[in-house]
Homo-oligomer: A and B are copies of this chain.
């Protein structure tokens, strides 16, 4: 069994209203050390085959399904 992790986040240029809302709530709750929050998606994937084979498929899957290329960027990590 091979494991991969995909991190999907908004591109820097894209506004993140959800992150801003959480950040405002955090400061209202008194968390004064926190000044910026950006929220993304996180996929834990289990697969078969070699790390190389899984990485290739997960990269293609991220491009096609997991991330919206217009607004989001993704990063794939594979653990042996």
Contact = CB atoms under 8 A, between A and B. Distances in A.
Interface residues of A, number: 36
Interface in A14-49: 19, 22, 25-26, 29, 31-49
Contacts of A68: none
Nearest to A6: B37
Contacts of A71: none
Interface of A: 7-9, 19, 22, 25-26, 29, 31-49, 53-54, 57-58, 60-61, 64-66
Given A26-B65, A42-B42, 8 more contacts: A29-B65, A31-B61, A33-B57, A34-B45, A34-B57, A35-B48, A37-B44, A38-B43
